[in-house]
Amino acid sequence: MRRWMLAVVGPVVLAPLAVVQAQRPISVGVGGGVSLAQGDLRDAVNAAGWHALGTVAVSTLMQPLGLRLDVAYNQFAFGDQLRTALGDGHQSTGSATLNATYRLPMTNSPASPYLISGLGAYQSRCSLGPGCDATTRFGWNVGLGAKLSALGVRSFIEARYHRTARGGQEVNFFPVTFGLML
């Protein structure tokens, strides 16, 4: 009889705690996934690379606007032509961006779509050492994502387009990210 009462009363008592946790205005998250090279960058590296992302988000349930600070690292292996000429290596881009988010209104849904766009600093470098110095330039990004909530786990999935420059070349890439929010 006591187990039955705990089974019924337990979720009733814990449900408000889950709602309070879901309404936290500041969230921290980690994510990663595949990055797709575009434009001039795709001419020098393999079409697909990888990335890792750390994020701090500020948002509320009552307002559709939010802010996110993202720190990311993207890496692409040299393409066949560059590998033949220079040997094995990679091109990497680290970034720190401040982004605005706009949550699209959805009620009673475990998925909450959003738009994201921002500006930041992008540092591009390659693994060849001397003669391949790091270059830091400003850039921008824009994308679409969705916050997901299931079984008490908060996650997100998003795709963004990033654009910056290295020397006289454009550095464009398209990361697709899956992440967890804590």
10 occurs within a structural domain? no
Residue 51 is predicted with a pLDDT of 98
Domain assignment present for residue 121? The answer is: yes
Cβ contact 54:180 at 8 Å: no
Residue 11 inside a domain? The answer is no
d(CA 103, CA 91): 33
Q: What is the dihedral angle through the alpha carbons of 59, 163, 129, 46, rounded to the nearest 10 degrees?
A: 100
pTM beyond 0.75: yes
Q: How many CB atoms lie within 10 A of CB 39?
A: 12
What mean pLDDT value characterizes the chain?
85
- pLDDT at residue number 142: 98
pLDDT at 7: 53
What's the pLDDT score for residue 28? 97
The three state secondary structure string of the chain is CHHHHHHHHHHHHHHHHHHHHHCCCEEEEEEEEEEEEEHHHHHHECCEEEEEEEEEEECCCCCCEEEEEEEEEEEEEECHHHHHHHCCCEEEEEEEEEEEEEECCCCCCCEEEEEEEEEEEEEEEECCCCCCCCEEEEEEEEEEEEEEEECCEEEEEEEEEEEEEECCEEEEEEEEEEEEEC
Please give the residue range of the domain that contains residue 151. 25-181
Indicate whether 88 belongs to any domain. Answer: yes
Please indicate, yes or no, if residue 5 is contained in any of the structural domains: no
pLDDT of res. 129: 61
17 falls within a domain: no
Residue 125 lies in a domain: yes
User: How much is the pLDDT for 168?
Assistant: 78
Tokens found for residue 127: 């693994």
pLDDT along the chain (182 residues), means of 10: 51 45 80 94 87 95 92 91 74 96 84 96 83 86 94 94 87 96 92
Domain count across the chain: 1
pLDDT at 45: 85
CATH code where residue 75 lies: 2.40.160.20
> d(Cα 160, Cα 137) in Å, to the nearest integer?
18
